[in-house]
Amino acid sequence: MTRQRGAPEAMIRFVCGPDGALAPDIKSRLPGRGVWVTARADLVEQAARKRLFARSLKTQVDAAPQLADDVDRLLEADCLQMLSLANKAGAVMAGFGKVADSLAQGSVGALIEANDGGEDGKRKLAQAARRAGSTAPVIGLFSSPQLDLALGRTNVIHAALAEGGPTTAFVARCRRLAAYRGVSVDGATATTDDEIEARPNGGAKKG
């Protein structure tokens, strides 16, 4: 364990409930004393396994064995909820043709590719993005069924988000999830040498 500080968005807060159970607080809103851990699955798992939460909180806490997986599900759900909100705001275009047209018009803030979609479609849209000079990030963290549910449509493989606040918020959440999983936002493997942080916080400065 280190005492290094990190930006709040690069960390996850955990709080101890009245029953002694440790709860992830990914939005940093829950009351009570908490600890901050670098937002990476392997480090959360390590903190639970080595009982670092109890050490930092100076009390007995119950860190579930599946804590790292629980955090992953919460971060993923947060991303998809933001995607749903962006869709309700009219910022999402779905379908290969609509995405290609949006790229040609230069109005894309982010691209989404279902991670279970065909490689040929991904390749063609990547070519369209290059022709348009687009630097929009490509999000490849979600399956087609997950995108269907978030967007209220069926068979969503390709989608584009218009530039603006909802898209910025969605991409930020996706970057956090990708970093937690140790991958890039397009789903490719990434490496990082960040170290663990488990620092008590009783309403003090978020490091």
Burial, 203: exposed, middle or buried (Cβ in 10 Å; 0-12, 13-18, 19+)?
exposed
Query: How high is the pLDDT of residue 39?
Result: 94
Q: In tens digits, what is the pLDDT along the chain, a chain of 207 residues?
A: 345 555 667 899 999 888 888 999 999 888 888 899 999 999 999 998 888 888 888 888 888 889 999 999 999 999 999 999 999 999 999 999 999 999 999 889 999 999 999 999 889 988 999 999 999 999 999 999 999 999 999 999 999 999 999 999 999 999 999 999 999 999 887 654 444 445 545 433 333
CATH 3.30.1230.10-classified regions of the chain: 8-70+193-201
Token pair, residue 154, equals 């069926």
- Residue 121's contacts (CB-CB under 8 Å, 6 or more residues apart) are 96, 113, 157, 158
Query: How high is the pLDDT of residue 207?
Result: 31
Q: What is the CATH number of domain 73-181?
A: 3.30.1330.30
Token pair, residue 155, equals 């068979």
CATH 3.30.1330.30-classified regions of the chain: 73-181
Beta bridge partners of 23: 15
CB atoms near residue 205 (< 10 Å): 7
How many Cα neighbours within 13 Å face the side chain of 26? 19
The pTM of this model reads 0.86
- Residue 148's contacts (CB-CB under 8 Å, 6 or more residues apart) are 154, 155, 156
Under CATH, which architecture does the 8-70+193-201 domain have?
Answer: 2-Layer Sandwich (3.30)
Burial, 39: exposed, middle or buried (Cβ in 10 Å; 0-12, 13-18, 19+)?
buried
Q: Which residue has the tokens 């629980």?
A: 70
Query: How high is the pLDDT of residue 19?
Result: 81
- Cα separation, 140 vs 118, in Å, equals 12
Query: How high is the pLDDT of residue 198?
Result: 53
Query: How high is the pLDDT of residue 30?
Result: 87
Of the chain, the end-to-end C-alpha distance in Å amounts to 15
In 54-171 the beta strands, taken as DSSP E runs, fall at: 92-94, 108-113, 138-139, 158-162
Query: How high is the pLDDT of residue 5?
Result: 59
